[in-house]
Amino acid sequence: MADSRLSESSPVPFRGRLSGPWRVMTLEPGTCCYRAVSYFIEHAFDERPELVVVPTFAAGIQSAAGNRRDLVLLPHVHEICGQLTTDIDWSQLVDYTFPYENPPLLLAQRPGSRITGNGVPRCASINRLKSLLNENELRDYSFQIVDTTQDAARLCASPDGPELCITNQHGAERHALDVVRVLKHMTVWWLPFRPAREE
C-alpha cells in the first residue's frame, strides 16, 4: 500500500483542534476518502468523532444537512466540491483544508478475462478518472460509471462485469485483479464542509 502521509507542504498540525461531539461522513474503507478522513480525525479533533460510512459524497451531504456538528470532507477534484463552495447553505472550514498524497490509481483487469472478436473493452470508472487513460483507451473503451474506486473493483471482479477498471491497490488486492499499469500520481486537496445553519 502507498505510504499514508501528507505532502511536505501540508499544514501539520492544523490551526487548533475542533472540540465537542462531531460526526464525519466518509466513503468505505479502502477509498482515498477514507484514508484522508482517517488522517483528518486523528489530527483535527480533541476527541475522536463518530464516523458515518456513506455510499457516495452526495449521500454524505444529504445525511449531514442541517446539523452543524456534521462534516463532509470532499476532494477538490470532485465536481460536488465546487457546488458546496458556492452553496449558501454550506460553510467551508478553511483552516482545516489540507493536501494529501493519493495512493496510486491503477488500470486493473479481471484475471482470465478476454476481449474476443469485435468486442469493445468495458471499463468501470469514476467519471472524472477516465481522463487518466490515454487517447486510444478513451476512444476504444466502453465505460460503466461508478461512485468509488472500490465500486469499480467490485464490478470488475464480477464474472459478468466489465473486464477493466480504474481502482487503487486496495481494490485490486481485495478483489484479486491483475494490474495492467499504474496511472498518474496525484496530490489531492481535501476540503471540509459543514452546514451553515442548524435546521
| pLDDT at 15 (0 to 100) | 79
Whether 68 and 198 have beta carbons less than 8 Å apart is answered as yes
**7, part of any domain:** no
Overall domain count for the chain: 2
Do 97 and 137 share a domain, yes or no? no
Q: Give yes or no for a cis peptide into 99 (omega within 30° of 0).
A: no
Domain that holds residue 163: 105-182
Using one digit for the tens of pLDDT, what is the confidence trace for 116-148?
556 789 999 999 999 999 999 999 999 999 999
Do 48 and 116 share a domain, yes or no? no
CATH number reported for the structural domain that contains residue 110 in this entry: 3.40.190.10
Whether 166 and 106 have beta carbons less than 8 Å apart is answered as yes
Do 159 and 112 share a domain, yes or no? yes
Using one digit for the tens of pLDDT, what is the confidence trace for 142-192?
999 999 999 999 999 999 999 999 999 999 999 999 999 999 888 999 999
Q: Give the pTM.
A: 0.82
| pLDDT at 1 (0 to 100) | 32
Evaluated on CA atoms 150, 156, 159, 162, the torsion sign reads: positive
Do 120 and 77 share a domain, yes or no? no
Do 123 and 94 share a domain, yes or no? no
**9, part of any domain:** no
Confidence of residue 112 (pLDDT cuts 50, 70, 90): confident
Do 79 and 29 share a domain, yes or no? yes
- Spatial neighbors of 166 by CB under 8 A, at least 6 apart, are 105, 106, 107, 108, 123, 124, 125, 126, 129, 130, 132, 133, 149, 152, 183
Do 86 and 54 share a domain, yes or no? yes
